[in-house]
Structure 1
């Protein structure tokens, strides 16, 4: 099939590479988000998908909105058979959905209808799920509600961050997406409607969503920090300055409870923080305006008092 691939961040690259290397399909163009300012210098930076497309000599379409008339006209001229999508990052209007013969087919990183929305992996980790997966479905105007072509499952490991889990799902999902394209082409695969029960939403996590509440149990603190890693990054404050936190882990057995947020260094190299239940070990921090560093080095330079705590 003639494909126009839509995607933006690095998580879309395994799928784009799989389709580019497929002997059965031809990726004739890529749709991605426009270049945007990034870094301290705020220089314009292309998306990872655009960079790969440029390397492969593909036509790149980067409309400000997917409903732009010029974009719709060019897509109509290309006349793709299907438009596979992975993390494109923009809503697709009805006029765009009607152009490809077999529609727009999205790889979504949850077992639909669970966790519809922009941050399914983060919400699965945050909720303490043991299992998640990926679904390939046909895009409809409603959010992530279209009929499903295929799914895969993936266990969530106890120490998984969202980044860890998403990396695995991106690789496995690329194989699933390619298989779905094969099935659509030869007519052996039919999409099935999603069940009406089990629907849940996974909106984007904001910075305020990932401020650590030290009065929560240790398990909830652990899940929040892992869910927010690598982005947007869980955080707290110390001496009225913001501190980002790397993943935490349960304190070794035998350490007594600490008041929520209270810091303790019971032995060299071990930094504990109190929660509503058992303390957690803090391994890495990123103080405001500084690079990430081991928590032991950070606290050694601050010499906190015995009653000082994260807030």
Structure 2
């Protein structure tokens, strides 16, 4: 099949590589978000998907909106059979959905109909799921509600962050997406409607959402921090400055501490929650590098009045 692959971040790269390497499909174009400013100089840089496409001599389309007439005209001219999508990050109007002969097929990182939306992996960790996965489905106008072609499952490990879990899912999902397109091409795969029961939504987690609520139970604190690692990054306020907080470890045998209170020894830094202390792992003070919690505590010279809030 002639494919136009739509994706933007590095999460999409395993899928794009799998389709470029496929002997059954021809990736004739890539659709990605426009170049974005990054780094200290805020210079414009192409997306990871655009960079990989350019390395392989594949045409890159960067519409500001997927309904732009010039973009749609070019997509029609390419005579695309199907558009596989992985973390594209742009709304697809019906005018775009109607262009490829076999539609747009999305790789979504949840077991649909659970966790429809922008942040399925983060919400799976935040809500304590033990099993998640990825699903391929036909894109329709309603958010992540199209019929499903196939799924793959993945166990959520105790210490998983959204970053480590998404990395595994992006690799297993790449195989699922390639197999889905194979099945669509040869007519052996039929999409099945999603069940009406079990629908849940996973809206984007904002920086404000990522503030650590030390007055919550330790289990929730642990899940929130892991869900927000690496993005958008869990944080707390310390001496009126923002401090990024890495994953913590439960410390059930530690002495009780008030929520947000800090206790440091030579080897550990503990913080109180509503149900007991947790041990800090890594900390990144505002404007400084990531460091161990012990190094941070020694540098700031903690007092009895200091709190994380």
Q: TM-score range by the shorter chain?
A: over 0.9
Determine the structure 1 residue equivalent to 2:308: 310
Mean Cα deviation higher: 66-75 or 275-284: 275-284
Question: 3-state SS of the aligned residue for 1:105?
Answer: strand
Question: 3-state SS of the aligned residue for 1:210?
Answer: coil
Determine the structure 1 residue equivalent to 2:92: 92
Shift of 1:39: 1.4
Determine the structure 1 residue equivalent to 2:287: 289
**Residues 220-241 of structure 1, C-alpha deviations (whole Å, 9 max, x = no match):** 0000000000000000001111
Determine the structure 2 residue equivalent to 1:139: 139
What is the alpha-carbon distance in structure 1 between the residues aligned to residue 259 and residue 56 of structure 2? 53
Question: 3-state SS of the aligned residue for 1:101?
Answer: coil
Q: What are the within-5 Å matches in structure 2 for residues 164-179 of structure 1?
A: 164-179=164-179
Give runs of ≥4 in structure 1 deviating > 6 Å: none
- Aligned residue pairs, count: 309
Matched, 1:260 2:273: no
Shift of 1:306: 1.4
Q: Give the root-mean-square deviation of aligned CA atoms.
A: 0.7
What is the alpha-carbon distance in structure 1 between the residues aligned to residue 253 and residue 229 of structure 2? 28
What is the alpha-carbon distance in structure 2 between the residues aligned to residue 51 and residue 256 of structure 1? 51
What is the alpha-carbon distance in structure 2 between the residues aligned to residue 39 and residue 279 of structure 1? 37
Q: What's the TM-score once normalised by structure 1's chain length?
A: 0.98
**Residues 98-119 of structure 1, C-alpha deviations (whole Å, 9 max, x = no match):** 1111100000000001100000
Determine the structure 2 residue equivalent to 1:187: 187
What is the alpha-carbon distance in structure 2 between the residues aligned to residue 37 and residue 139 of structure 1? 29
What is the alpha-carbon distance in structure 2 between the residues aligned to residue 112 and residue 39 of structure 1? 36
What is the alpha-carbon distance in structure 2 between the residues aligned to residue 111 and residue 268 of structure 1? 44
Q: What are the within-5 Å matches in structure 2 for residues 222-261 of structure 1?
A: 222-251=222-251, 253-261=252-260
Determine the structure 1 residue equivalent to 2:62: 62
Question: 3-state SS of the aligned residue for 2:249?
Answer: strand
Question: 3-state SS of the aligned residue for 1:209?
Answer: coil
Q: What are the within-5 Å matches in structure 2 for residues 65-84 of structure 1?
A: 65-84=65-84
Question: 3-state SS of the aligned residue for 1:208?
Answer: coil
Shift of 1:307: 2.8
Determine the structure 2 residue equivalent to 1:159: 159
Shift of 1:70: 0.2
Shift of 1:308: 1.7
What is the alpha-carbon distance in structure 1 between the residues aligned to residue 197 and residue 253 of structure 2? 44
What is the alpha-carbon distance in structure 2 between the residues aligned to residue 129 and residue 205 of structure 1? 17
Shift of 1:130: 0.4
What is the alpha-carbon distance in structure 1 between the residues aligned to residue 68 and residue 288 of structure 2? 41
Determine the structure 1 residue equivalent to 2:39: 39
What is the alpha-carbon distance in structure 2 between the residues aligned to residue 250 and residue 271 of structure 1? 12
For structure 1, which runs of at least 5 residues remain unmatched after alignment?
A: none
What is the alpha-carbon distance in structure 1 between the residues aligned to residue 253 and residue 188 of structure 2? 59
For structure 2, which runs of at least 5 residues remain unmatched after alignment?
A: none
